[in-house]
């Protein structure tokens, strides 16, 4: 597919030229989406000096290049390409909203020093083994590193504004390195090799904690998380009911997932959970609703499976 400048009419056009599809672009446009355009290089739209959002998803791009022509670029999305390294961003100090490089072949976090205003960095589904070279990203609020080969939580101490951290599906064995992330609100570390919940004493603002699919046998070191709203711990080895005492001060806790733990085999599983955590409105895939019966001043409890609700909405 070739990219050409707009014609004199000033309208965006797309037309077929023999077997090749040409896209006509307007140099004045602020956004450009070339998803699945069979592009192998970032080129053909150098005239778009005002460009702020560039989407190049599902192409065959191997190198980050020619971006110096777009000094106002704020969002860059190269999901599902064949990038092997991060480079070519040295001049992009204005790239501030989003850098999305998911599903490539990147093995190292590097060359991000100039992106001091960046808010969201997405590097999931790559080949990264170490969290590093993030020191200059002091304004980062969301970091996604799921589905890589990371074995240790490190290199995050300078990210003091971070609110969302996703490290799902890696090779992590310990929760650590989070002591400086005092504004962290969401932590996703499911599908790892963690055996113990610990080292969260500095993360009192956590609202979502996902430790599902690990090797955890005890619920501990959670009592200080009074703002916690969602706790995901399904597919672990939790067996002791007394561990639920950890949540006695968590009055904001609405959602808990403990299915496929030994604890969940108790025939009184749901009623006992509600006694320990009265604030719950969702247990595993089941919502807890209260409804007033017609002509009755009392309220009755309805347990509704999420899938049933979703199916009803589709109908």
Give domain status of residue 134, yes or no: no
Structure confidence by residue, pLDDT tens digits, 83-135:
999 998 887 667 999 999 999 999 999 999 999 999 999 999 999 999 999 99
Give domain status of residue 106, yes or no: no
Give domain status of residue 292, yes or no: yes
Give domain status of residue 267, yes or no: no
Q: How many domains does the chain have?
A: 1
**For position 6, what pLDDT does the model report?**
52
**For position 14, what pLDDT does the model report?**
37
Give domain status of residue 169, yes or no: no
Give domain status of residue 309, yes or no: yes
DSSP readout, 54-82?
EE--SS---S--SGGG-TT--EEE--SS-
Distance CA 310, CA 313 (A): 5
**For position 90, what pLDDT does the model report?**
80
Measured at the CA of 82, the angle between CA 81 and CA 84, to 5 degrees, comes to: 130
**For position 24, what pLDDT does the model report?**
82
Give domain status of residue 308, yes or no: yes
DSSP readout, 78-130?
--SS---S--S-TT-TT--SEEE--SS------S-TT-TT--EEE--SS----
Give domain status of residue 303, yes or no: yes
Inter-residue contact 198 to 175 (CB < 8 Å): yes
Point out the residues of the chain with pLDDT beneath 50: 7-19, 289-302, 304, 306-310, 312-315
- Could you list the residue range(s) of the whole structural domain that residue 315 is in? 286-315
């Amino acid at each position: 597919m070739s990219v050409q400048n707009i014609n004199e009419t000033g309208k965006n056009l797309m037309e077929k030229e023999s077997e090749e599809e040409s896209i006509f672009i307007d140099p004045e446009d602020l956004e450009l989406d070339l998803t699945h355009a069979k592009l192998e290089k970032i080129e053909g739209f150098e005239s778009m000096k005002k460009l702020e959002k560039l989407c190049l998803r599902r192409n065959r791009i191997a190198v980050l290049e020619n971006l110096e022509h777009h000094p106002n670029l704020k969002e860059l999305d190269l999901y599902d390409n064949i990038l092997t390294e991060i480079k070519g961003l040295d001049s992009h100090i204005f790239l501030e909203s989003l850098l999305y490089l998911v599903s490539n072949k990147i093995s190292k976090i590097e060359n991000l020093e100039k992106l001091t205003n960046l808010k969201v960095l997405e590097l999931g589904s790559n080949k990264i083994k170490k969290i590093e070279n993030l020191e200059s990203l002091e304004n980062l609020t969301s970091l996604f590193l799921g589905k890589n080969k990371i074995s240790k939580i490190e290199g995050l101490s300078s990210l003091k504004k971070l609110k969302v951290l996703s490290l799902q599906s890696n090779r992590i064995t310990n929760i650590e390195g989070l002591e400086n992330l005092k504004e962290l609100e969401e932590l996703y570390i499911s599908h790892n090799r963690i055996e113990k919940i610990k080292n969260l004493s500095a993360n009192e603002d956590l609202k979502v904690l996902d430790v599902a699919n690990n090797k955890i046998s005890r619920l501990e070191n959670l009592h200080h998380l009074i703002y916690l709203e969602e706790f995901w711990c399904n597919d672990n080895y939790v067996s002791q009911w007394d561990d639920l005492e950890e949540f006695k001060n968590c009055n904001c806790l609405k959602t808990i997932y403990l299915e496929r733990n030994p604890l969940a085999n108790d025939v009184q599983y749901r009623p006992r959970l509600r006694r320990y955590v009265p604030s719950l409105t969702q247990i595993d895939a089941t919502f807890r609703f209260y409804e007033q019966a017609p002509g009755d001043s009392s309220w009755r409890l309805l347990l509704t499976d999420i899938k049933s609700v979703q199916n009803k909405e589709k109908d």
